[in-house]
Chains A and B, each alone.
Chain A
Amino acid sequence: MTAIAERSPGPLMTTPEVTMATALNQALADALTEDETVLVFGEDVGPLGGVFRVTDGLAARFGDTRVFDTPLAESGIVGTAIGMAMNGLRPVVEMQFDAFAYPAFEQITSHLAKLRNRTRGRVALPVVIRIPYGGGIGGVEHHCDSSEAYYAHTPGLRVVTPATPGDAYALLRQAIECPDPVIFLEPKRRYWSKQATVLEHAGTTLDRAIVRRPGSDVTLIAYGGTLGTALEAADAAEEEGRSLEVIDLRSLSPFDDETVTASVRRTGRAIVVHEASRFCGYGAEVAARLSEQCFHYLEAPVLRVAGFDIPYPPPHLEEYHLPSVDRILDAVDRLQWQETRPAVKAGG
């Protein structure tokens, strides 16, 4: 942790602002420094530093045996990472964009996710697959998919997504230390958002959600790229006299029932916000869990504000597709505020 200690602010200094990309870069550098079994590889992650510059400077600092460019084949990247993990290394690989990870899908679902189970725990695969995901950056087709549900549906994988630079650092460090394979989804429209934070990972666990903003009327459940939108919506709702609690899930698999149900049992209303298409999307799982675990506390159906059930649109149309503050506020308005409350609340 020397690198971090050196960068910690002194008593007279203000906490420096860092971007998510910088925080991820620092997490990789610190992991490479502390654990010599950690390797970073993928397409263009070497001298270029990745198309989003997340690996900037790492090849020069750690050498091209530990940080290196591979041939252009995602299945090859994940497949060889599996072999390297079998032989004692901890690969952290990059898929250049969400939709470009699909060639690796078989390696991820048939091998990475299953090998521990197939071998009754004898073969562990501590592999991290970093995937920039989601839209909002004006990307052309195949560059803006939100593919989290594919991975979250697969037993054996952990699926994590940070929404802030501080979490990006902490969660990536935790993911690299984790004995399970981790799909690490990086919301690319948040790569350059800044936060004044000290980068540290002690005390963070990989599977807990966090309440980002307390509220009492509605629970907004967001993650990754939509957290910022949810927080803006909460600000706007406050002006209208409604108090919105905002939860950042962080871990999509496993799901932190404790944090989410505690909130929804207090507020009685919930909306899930994500960029991915609604049909069979991650929000469906959240809504189902809330109806199973909080049914008698709910004042209204759990709503989803999600991407439409369409292929990701071209840049000039994406603003209509992405969940916006207005769409979230409209959903809040639809939460049956005028209906008669049940006379007796079960459990209360």
Chain B
Amino acid sequence: MSPLIGAHVTSATRVVPRGRKPQELLPTGAPLTLVDADGRTVPSAGLAMPGDEALLALHRKMVLARRFDTQATALTRQGRLAVYPSARGQEAGEVGAVLALRPQDWLFPTYRDTMAVVCRGLDPVEVLSLLRGDWHCGYDPYEYRVAPQCTPLATNTLHAVGVAHAAKLKGEDTVALVMLGDGATSEGDTHAALNFAAVWQAPVVFFVQNNGYAISVPLSKQTAAPSLAHKGVGYGVPAMLVDGNDAAAVYAAVRGAVASGAEGGGPTLIEALTYRIEAHTNADDATRYRDQAEVDGWLARDPLARLRKHLTARGLLDEPAVAALEAEAEAEAAALRQRVNADIAHDPADLFRHVYAEQTPDLRWQQQELSAELAAAADDPEAAR
């Protein structure tokens, strides 16, 4: 390793600049918005409207992400996926946050962030390995710097802080963005991660998608804080509250937080206000804990329709372009269907691989035991029953 560890910082434990006033850390009262629900531009202090190209990229990726999401839900009904936690309605957060990252940055997604992982460029079939039940993580985390999708809530916040702190010690220009939901902010690891990141001034973006529910539990039973973004001030972490259905605002906020982290400004907490249109997963029944009227209200604030209106009004998008994009999304979905419908041959010997760097004698023996049993069953199928 060429750069000397630690030579790039004067102290691993440098504390937050004490000069920062609480007001500088607090979020705005109303969520930061660049494009309102009707697609109109909102002049907003502190956030710069992304350029046309960035807006078109956001729109394109949101179309692809939504089609991917509905396709994945459909695959659960056909038994091709064991389970799928949909993020429909959250496309602005899923896509906006990912497009704001640079190639050298890390993404730490949860199980609900499959759209985000695919948006980062990973092969969707490799990504769906977890939810198909083929293997826990089907992709190489180092290829696109995407950690395995994390199921135990908030635990990955600390991994993001560790990766970012190591990058800082090694003198790498790398920021880590960790995704979490409103429920995960109640976990102890979120508290520890915000605190460690602040004390170390680690370049981390805590991207909280507040979609209103932790499975069935509404935000009102999750916290008494004025907003989740308000939690930042207690740690000395600057926070932003953004309209999570406004892709332009999410993108601009995350870009700003990434730039701040890269410039030595430490961590940022972003709360994106959004809504989970579908139930928790295909196995959940959302009618037991929320009204359709509430869902309908959020459908009227759809993030994709909003950006499309905005781009159309500005003459950046027309019907033929949208039709072409939708055809592209349809083709991707068809390809995905076809690939996921193909059965994968599983090798039971895989069970015993990669538990340790080298297989232990116990595992060698257990693998032999299983393969002998399977061989006997193959030789004499009747006796095996």
Contact = CB atoms under 8 A, between A and B. Distances in A.
A155 B161 contact: no
B141 A83 contact: no
Contacts of A81: 162
B140 A119 contact: yes
B135 A120 contact: yes
A116 B357 contact: yes
A9 interface: no
Contact of A88 (B1, B350, B353): B1
B162 to A, nearest CB: 2
Interface stretch (A48-56, A63-71, A191-199, A215-223): A63-71
Nearest to A181: B356
- Among B4, B169, B176, B191, max chain A CB count under 10 A is at B169
Contacts of B189: 75-76, 79, 106-107
B155 A106 contact: yes
A88 B167 CA distance: 9
Contacts of A82: 158-159, 162
B33 to A, nearest CB: 33
Contacts of A180: 356-357
Given A117-B136, A119-B140, A37 B13 contact: no
A89 interface: yes
A30 interface: no
A122 B141 contact: yes
A254 interface: yes
B354 A79 contact: no
B238 to A, nearest CB: 19
Contacts of B362: 254-255
Nearest to A63: B6
A120 B139 CA distance: 9
Interface in B158-211: 158-167, 169-170, 174, 176, 188-189, 191-193, 195-196, 199
Interface string B348-374: 001001111100111000000000000
Contacts of A280: none
Contact of A39 (B5, B141, B157, B159): B5
A103 B188 contact: yes
Contact of B158 (A80, A87, A115, A121): A80
B148 interface: yes
B152 interface: yes
A78 B192 CA distance: 11
B311 interface: no
B193 A76 contact: yes
Interface string A81-99: 1111111110000000000
A123 interface: yes
Contacts of B163: 83-84, 86-87
Given A76-B158, A89-B166, A254-B360, A121 B11 contact: no
B322 interface: no
A118 interface: yes
B142 interface: yes
Interface string A242-268: 000000000000110100000000000
A338 interface: no
A85 B188 CA distance: 22
Interface residues of A, number: 54
Interface in B130-155: 135-137, 140-142, 147-148, 152, 155
A41 B5 CA distance: 14
Given A106-B152, A122-B140, A64 B11 contact: yes
Given A80-B165, A88-B166, A111-B155, A68 B188 contact: no
A129 interface: no
A86 B189 CA distance: 18
B295 interface: no
Interface residues of B, number: 50
A156 B353 CA distance: 11
A111 B199 CA distance: 24
B136 A86 contact: no
Given A119-B140, A119-B148, A121-B354, A107 B361 contact: no
A179 B358 CA distance: 9
Contacts of B335: none
A37 B1 contact: yes
A78 B159 CA distance: 9
B288 to A, nearest CB: 29
B331 interface: no
B192 A76 contact: yes
Contacts of B135: 118, 120
A124 interface: yes
A36 interface: yes
B136 to A, nearest CB: 4
A209 to B, nearest CB: 13
B219 interface: no
B376 interface: no
Given A111-B155, A118-B137, A83 B355 contact: no
A114 B135 CA distance: 12
A284 interface: no
Interface string B301-336: 000000000000000000000000000000000000
A115 B148 contact: yes
Given A76-B192, A119-B137, A122-B140, A156 B356 contact: yes
16 contacts: A39-B5, A64-B13, A69-B13, A70-B196, A73-B192, A80-B196, A82-B158, A83-B163, A84-B163, A87-B170, A107-B155, A111-B152, A117-B354, A118-B137, A254-B360, A254-B361
Please give me the 8 A-B residue pairs with the lowest Cβ-Cβ distance, nearest first.
A83-B162, A79-B158, A65-B6, A76-B192, A87-B166, A80-B162, A121-B354, A118-B136
